[in-house]
Structure 1
Amino acid sequence: MFLKIGELARRTGLTVRALRHYDAIGLLVPSGRSMGGYRLYDRKDVARLYRIQALRRLDLSLADIQDLLDNAAGGLSEVVARQVAQLDREILKASALRTHLLAVQGQLQANEEPGIDDWLVALESMVAGSKYFSDEEQRTLEAQRDGFTNAVAPERAGLSASLRELVAAGASPESPQAQALARRWIELLLEEAGGDEGLLMKLYAMHWNEPALHALTGVDRAGIRYISHAMAFARLQLYTPYCSAGDMATLRQHYVAQTDAWPPLIAELRRQMAADAPVDGAAVRALALRWQALSLAKAGGDAALDAKLRAAFRHDPALRAGSGIDATLADYVGRAIARLDATSIS
């Protein structure tokens, strides 16, 4: 007995589109075809479809399911073990969050207002997670924060208060007070990230994007932008040994104006790099072109000054600290730009 695709879809509750997709990827190929070219499914096909749907309930990918079904040696035990391990990790996270929330609840019941960092730990567990960090990155952050968060909580609260005062007073981010605050803010964030510039950028993205964090910390996007601009002015001063007086005049006019464009560009390049995207692929090429344009723009269009800035950045660790750009990313971008240059020459 054979079933046509429409009949199989009707009797299994699947869509014709899903069955066609299964056929296209080789997961469920019908055993026959009618004279008119219609797909025909026999008993063995229906049995395979049953196993597919059963494995889907384990939240396996279609690729994993196909590998299991096509591998005579089985491998199902290993897959189930992976699922159990994943559940164990989720249980541990949920248990840690529960313990922390019980502590917060105890403070509230004792009429004590939990500190900002108490709320942040709970909030980050709920709103961040896999949205910003991999499991390994979350473990790194948790280990790094152990004993660190409470120790710096008073200083962070003081920095937040000072930041709000500077912004409210209309103080320029170029002021010495703003630059000192920004340097310390980034130092603490980088310390929280264990010195990992990639994690730093993800923390920055989380603080930029999550309104709940803005409400809890009292630092919204305007405050984060103020810190970024103050940090840009602080970094600008570090270029003095590498530039002439005329160069510095040009930089003061153009350098900081490009500040807001860099974090999303760096974040996207890091995402492409993590995905092993080829440096000569269309996506990375477009990002490399944007990188070149921003570099030249901050040098006021002066190619010679741009070259000086790039050389200084490569050789001076102080310029790189807190920028989100480490040696790995710099190499990745460098190779992408080299491919652009090679293409333009040819």
Structure 2
Amino acid sequence: MFLKIGELARRTGLTVRALRHYDDIALLVPSERSSGGYRLYGRKDVARLYRIQALRRLDLPLADIQQLLDDDAGGLSEVVARQVAQLDDEILRASALRTHLLAVQGLLRASEEPGIDDWLLALESMVAGAKYFSDDEQRTLKTQRRGSADAMAPERAELSACLHSLVEAGASPESPQAQALAQRWIALLLEEAGGDEGLLMKLYAMHWNEPSLHALTGVDRAGIRYISHAMAFARLQLYAPYCSEEDMATLRRHYVAQTDAWPPLIAEVRQQMTAKAPTHGPAMRALALRWQALSLAKAGGDAALHAKLQQAFRQDATLRAGSGIDEALAAYVGQAIAQLGGTPALMNKPESPQ
């Protein structure tokens, strides 16, 4: 007994078009053809079709179904494993989305009349985190924020308002008020990062690059640069006990001018360190040369002054705090610099970016 394509379509709930497509890709080729060229499906064809439909319920691609049906020896374990992996990935994405939506829900409940822009900006800022932090790092940050969110929010708002007031008034980043603001700002970020200098640099990069965060915090790149320069002036004062008046005059001419170049360089070095790149490799060699040149430039090219800065940075914990350089990074880049051919001994230790 044979069934024509129309009758088979009616009995199985499929369309004639689908059955023709199965024939075209050799997934279900009818056993016979009538004298008029019509497709005729026999018992074995119908049995194969029901197997196809059963496998389709697993959302398997047609190519995988064909492989399974044509290869009785195996393939099923691999296909099922791939399906399980795909479902695991979908579960992770759904879980992450649920976490984002719950957080957004909390933000919306706290607002009397939330607008669509507020909703989207909040979601964008949460999604942005995945671009800069691993899952473990995001969990660390969330834990830190849960423990101090209520205390941080008013201080953040106060600092943001203070920043805008200083900028609008034309206050120099060198002013005492700007330096005090910068020190509080960095201390707050470092607290959010749990004291982790690597996370601090990632937070800096995220706040620098993401427009959604600029809109949410009210602090754009110009504001971030203002804070960074004010922090450089604040850190500069900490070198005074280690330097002569002439040294300090040199630093005032050159030190702050190098500020903007440090965060991306530190981020690149940390990326190499995280990837366990060899310190003698070409990538780290290039970064070490940049580090060496930038470090010396902020001392106005004065090797003796540069040595003083390095000594102070190693001895004074207040100089290292918030610099983005922890002991592991210092050792890593120091080793890379030491391996540069003809490197003077004084350059064998890295120095603070600020």
The two structures have a TM-score, normalised by structure 1, of: 0.72
Task: State the SS of the aligned residue for 1:170.
Answer: coil
Pairing of 1:61-72 with structure 2 (within 5 A) = none
Residues 101, 122 of structure 1: 8 Å contact kept: yes
Quick check: which has more Rg, 1 or 2? 2
1:97 aligns to what? 100
Q: In the aligned structure 1, how far is the partner of 2:98 from the partner of 2:176?
A: 45
- The letter of the residue matching 2:212 is A
- The letter of the residue matching 2:127 is M
Pairing of 1:176-255 with structure 2 (within 5 A) = 176-255=176-255
2:113 aligns to what? 111
1:85–1:330 Cα change, 3 Å: farther
Residues 266, 325 of structure 1: 8 Å contact kept: yes
Task: State the SS of the aligned residue for 1:340.
Answer: coil
1:334 aligns to what? 334
Q: In the aligned structure 1, how far is the partner of 2:88 from the partner of 2:172?
A: 52
Q: In the aligned structure 1, how far is the partner of 2:218 from the partner of 2:243?
A: 38
1:28 aligns to what? none
1:338–1:78 Cα change, 3 Å: farther
1:323–1:124 Cα change, 3 Å: same
Greater shift, 238-247 or 91-100, is seen at: 91-100
1:246–1:236 Cα change, 3 Å: same
- Quote how far apart the aligned CAs of 1:107 are: 4.2
1:107–1:244 Cα change, 3 Å: closer
Count of aligned residue pairs for this structure pair? 276
Q: In the aligned structure 2, how far is the partner of 1:77 from the partner of 1:288?
A: 48
- Quote how far apart the aligned CAs of 1:222 are: 0.7
- Quote how far apart the aligned CAs of 1:147 are: 3.1
1:144 maps onto 2:144 in alignment: yes
Identity of matched residues, %: 64
- The letter of the residue matching 2:256 is V
Task: State the SS of the aligned residue for 1:146.
Answer: helix
- The letter of the residue matching 2:129 is A
- The letter of the residue matching 2:96 is K
1:231–1:187 Cα change, 3 Å: same
- The letter of the residue matching 1:99 is L
- Quote how far apart the aligned CAs of 1:111 are: 3.0
- Quote how far apart the aligned CAs of 1:339 are: 0.4
2:129 aligns to what? 128
- Quote how far apart the aligned CAs of 1:84 are: 5.5
- Quote how far apart the aligned CAs of 1:122 are: 3.7
The Cα RMSD (Å) is 3.1
Q: In the aligned structure 2, how far is the partner of 1:132 from the partner of 1:156?
A: 21
The two structures have a TM-score, normalised by structure 2, of: 0.70
